[in-house]
Structure 1
Amino acid sequence: MVLFAWKNKENEQKKEMQVGKYELGRTLGEGNFGKVKFAKNLDSGHSFAVKILDKSRIVDHRIIDQIKREIGTLKLLRHPNVVRLHEVIASKTKIYMVLEYVDGGELFERIALNGKLTEAAGRKMFQQLIDAVTYCHKKGVFHRDLKLENVLVDADGNIRISDFGLSALPQHFRDDGLLHTTCGSPNYVAPEVVRNKGYDGATSDMWSCGVILYVILTGYLPFDDRNLAVVYQKIFKGNVNFPKGLSTGAKNLIRRILDPNPRTRITIAEIKEDQWFKRRYTPVNPVEDKEDICIVDASMTIHESPLAGKDPDFSTFINAFELIGMSSSLDLSGFFEKEDVSERRMRFTSRHSPKELIERIEDIVTRMGFVVRKRSGKLKVVELHKDDSSPVNLSVAAEVFDISPSLYLVEVRKTCGDATLYRQLCEKLSHDLGVPRSQELLDAEFQV
């Protein structure tokens, strides 16, 4: 299958690119590392936003971890007020993140064009923002770059939080229980982040929410100046000036959120008990669906193995990023699962058919003295007999995936047992059945 195709439309001079099953259209936004384009699913007709990232720029600017973080974080989140990641597609030079399309654009643009919102409209948006941030924090995700530009609004006035590239997860906390990376946008950043002595991700996110609320209700930033040092001085003091007409309830809540002392700053739980906030508030209770994000190269859908029989669970997808990791310096295999630090898993590519691979693997391991069991198209090595003595414990599973009609991926996983025997087995299988490494790189680069 060809990943990219150019389609000519009648009466149109411009060409629109197709990526997998998505036809890309107009540009919705543009950043330092790529663009966001409107896209339509050619199968369903549904609209999406596709974030296109240039792999070379990611490497050159050393933001691999940031991209990993954004995709890995969005994979965790399922909330009506958080933009949803539906699919990730990879090519040799690009990464395509297929995201929920939010037709109203950025909240920043809405405020810039139309000015401040009424308290009723602003409160509704702020309630949704707090619901979404609460959900993220419960999932262990701290955004760290909440601002109007990262809040999208749909046609009905409902919000979606976007851009989790600077987000933090529990593993990013140091031994003191705090985060230490100074990040975020100057006008929205909490004072404790600027001081660079460690900060709580939840508390600093609350400060940013307070700035957003202030802008929504006034039309301008609470802390602003051409001189960045002056901006930070204002943030440290936390003195906020309010325009006439803003209700006492709104002003009191903003003051409590924009408290420069993180220890006395209002918490999410206290915000939800605030009288101004609670007015016409209906909490969102997201239903955690079981939809998996499709993370594949459009040309690498895995077809049902002839060995699978009628097992409906055997069909699967291969993670395109793992294949890219085999063939380039940009190792993205850690995007979607933990690194295999224990050497429990080994992969190699082969030109042998799945049926032939299974047969030859069974033959090889049997000759090495292993006992093999078959189940649902998979092989499981359960034990090794040595000199008819007591069996040596080793449990290994082998599985074959289609990459293309002539290239296959074999994955061998150790469940438990002797590490030395496992490595010997892997070396034997890879040597006898695998594609030579130099050829594997060429094959992988051609396929991706």
Structure 2
Amino acid sequence: MQEDMEYNIRFVGSYILDKTLGVGATGKVKLAKHSRTKEKVGVKIIKKDLFYDKPSLRLKIQREISVMKLMFHPHVIKIYDVLEDSKYLFLIIEYASKGELFNYLVEKRKLENREALKFFHEIISGLEYCHKHRICHRDLKLENILLDMKLQIKIADFGMASLSIPNIMLKTFCGSPHYASPEVVSNEPYNGIKADIWSCGIILYALVVGKLPYDEENDNMRKLFNKIRFEPPRIPRIIHPDCRDLIRALLTINPQKRITIDKIKKHPWYKSSPLPESCRISIQNLSFASVQNPISNPDPEIISFLLPLQLVKDKKTLCGILSTKKPSFLRVLYRQLEWRKMKMDSVRSNLINEANFKRKKLFKQGKLGNITGLKYWKNLKCKFLSINIKSFVRTGIYIYF
């Protein structure tokens, strides 16, 4: 860490930074460990200077944080906290130690039927959760699906995500061309949920065949898009017949005829192996009727995460809608954020209590090595306090920028 003079950060809140996991256009992602619970996390470090040159980037990150705050599922990457100092924004996210599904597939070339189905079960479970909470990912691809230490799926990178509002079609072309649906590459208004289903078909094809169904030499985008728009995928006959049938249903060119998640779950290939325990969680649709009670004193932190979704023009309008008895999509989102906040606080408290219990047990056993290690970190913090410790706040970034 000492060689990283540009960032020169050793601690972020309660987290001790370690090695760099990756470098992107907006900054670095570092591995970190909580000083008390020892939980490993990823810390995405973003320079605030970028927001002055690229206002659209600030909005994109605001929306990504707000969307991630809406979700809590075993197969969707979690965001634990958002911290900041005068120069940087820090996103504390779940750590997926086995990296991208893309790299895993490159190493194995292609997957056997049972392993591919296990991954597909978990992808569909996570995606169903997103869709039932009105969130379209819009950039599903092997690189944006991560694996944790148990090789469980974590859907990540919600930078292109959008809310699926009833009776409103999306228009923005986004995502990766090789995974984009025919209606998206045709620059037509599209349903984000149906576009995500197509991307799942591309992923499943890649898992069992070992390559993408649509590709073009020299990256000729015009030819690639024409293939996507007009040519059904060619699936090798060595692929299991039921799997071939599901891939065709997923990669149906007409979005109106494309298979839905409910029908995917009833498909013979999908049902040919028991669901993983993590995929058996019942997911309820967000209901307008269940959140009719007005919200007269909204939580400022939750408000700060609703505003970047740009469903209303300002805070006053938002609070006015929340305080009425009229059914509102915004109130549904508010209650979802409220529930998730309580859930995360509960998880954090459990981790701290567990860590404290283990520490007391070690001290009682007289394991002096642990005491020595604790003293080392305390001394290290004191040593670097004047130049490395930043002042942080838990942020509603819409307020502080």
Q: Note whether the superposition's TM-score is higher than 0.5.
A: yes
Specify the code of the residue in structure 2 equivalent to 1:129: I
The answer for the alignment partner of 2:281 in structure 1 is 285
Distance of 2:66 and 2:306 partners within structure 1:
11
- One of 106, 111, 132 as aligned partner of 1:117: 111
Q: Are 1:53 and 2:46 counterparts?
A: yes
Listed as ranges, the gaps of 5+ residues in structure 2 are 285-298, 321-399
User: What is the identity, as a one-letter code, of the residue corresponding to 2:178?
Assistant: N
Cα distance in 2 for partners of 1:137, 1:281 equals 23
| Cα distance between partner residues in 2 of 1:122 and 1:257 | 15
Q: Give the whole-Å Cα distance in 1 for the aligned partners of 2:58 and 2:9.
A: 28
- Matched with 1:334 is 307
Select which of 89, 93, 97 maps to 1:95: 89
2:249 pairs with 1:256? yes
| Offset of residue 156 of structure 1 | 2.1
- Which residue of 140, 154, 158 maps to 1:146? 140
Partner of 2:10: 17
Q: Deviations over 1:352-400 (max 9, x none)?
A: xxxxxxxxxxxxxxxxxxxxxxxxxxxxxxxxxxxxxxxxxxxxxxxxx
Out of 31, 39, 45, the residue aligned to residue 38 of structure 1 is 31
Work out whether 1:77 is the aligned partner of 2:68.
no
Question: How far apart are the structure 2 equivalents of 1:85 and 1:75?
Answer: 7
Does 2:189 match 1:198?
Answer: yes
Task: Select 1:106's aligned residue among 93, 100, 118.
Answer: 100
One of 118, 123, 127 as aligned partner of 1:129: 123
Equivalent position amino acid for 1:260 in 2: I
C-alpha displacement of 1:51: 1.1
- Structure 2 SS opposite 1:281: coil
Report the Cα offset of residue 341 of structure 1: 2.9
8 Å contact 1:68–1:334 — kept in the other structure? no
**CA displacement at 1:94 relative to structure 2:** 1.4
Q: Does 1:178 align with 2:153?
A: no
Matches within 5 A, 1:209-224: 209-224=200-215
Give the length in aligned residue pairs.
Answer: 297
Helix, strand or coil for the counterpart of 2:111? coil
Local SS of the residue matching 2:316: coil
The answer to whether the 8 A contact 1:89-1:320 is kept is no
Long gaps (5+) in structure 1:
1-5, 9-13, 289-316, 323-331, 346-446
Q: Following TM superposition, by how much is the alpha carbon of 1:318 offset from its aligned partner in structure 2, in angstroms?
A: 8.1
Looking at structure 1, the residues matched to 103 and 35 of structure 2 have their Cα atoms a distance apart, in angstroms, of 30
Identical-pair percentage: 35
Distance (Å, rounded) in 1 between the aligned partners of 2:38 and 2:76: 22
Alignment match of 2:225 (pick from 219, 224, 232): 232
User: Hey, what's the Cα distance between the residues in 2 that align with 1:236 and 1:153?
Assistant: 31
Quote the Cα distance in structure 2 between the aligned partners of 1:343 and 1:132: 29
1:335 shift after superposition: 4.5
Give the whole-Å Cα distance in 1 for the aligned partners of 2:269 and 2:109.
22
> Is the Cα contact below 8 Å between 1:85 and 1:99 reproduced in 2?
yes
Tell me the CA shift for residue 70 of structure 1.
Answer: 0.8
Kindly tell me: are residues 142 and 219 of structure 1, through their superposed partners in 2, closer, same or farther at Cα, counting changes over 3 Å?
same
Q: CA deviation at 1:238?
A: 3.5
TM-score by length of 1: 0.61
> Counterpart of 2:102 in 1: which secondary structure?
helix
In 1, distance between residues paired with 2:9 and 2:37? 18
Q: Which amino acid counterpart does residue 182 of structure 2 have in structure 1?
A: P
| CA distance in structure 2 between the aligned counterparts of 1:71 and 1:140, rounded to whole angstroms | 15
Per the normalisation by structure 2, the TM-score is 0.68
Counterpart Cα distance in 2 of 1:287 and 1:262: 24
Contact 2:114 2:273 in 1 (8 A): no
* Aligned partners of 1:118 and 1:217 also within 8 Å: yes
Task: Letter of the 1:284 partner, please give it.
Answer: R
One-letter code aligned to 2:151: G
SS of residue matched to 1:129? helix
Q: Deviations over 1:163-212 (max 9, x none)?
A: 111101145x7xx5211111110000001011222001110000000000
With CA pairs under 8 Å and 6+ residues apart, which has the higher RCO, 1 or 2? 2
Are positions 1:272 and 2:265 aligned together? yes
In structure 2, relative to structure 1, the CA distance for the partners of 1:32 and 1:50 (3 Å cut) is same
More helix by share: 2
- Alpha-carbon deviations, 1:300-343, whole Å to 9, x = none? xxxxxxxxxxxxxxxxx985997xxxxxxxxx893499741349
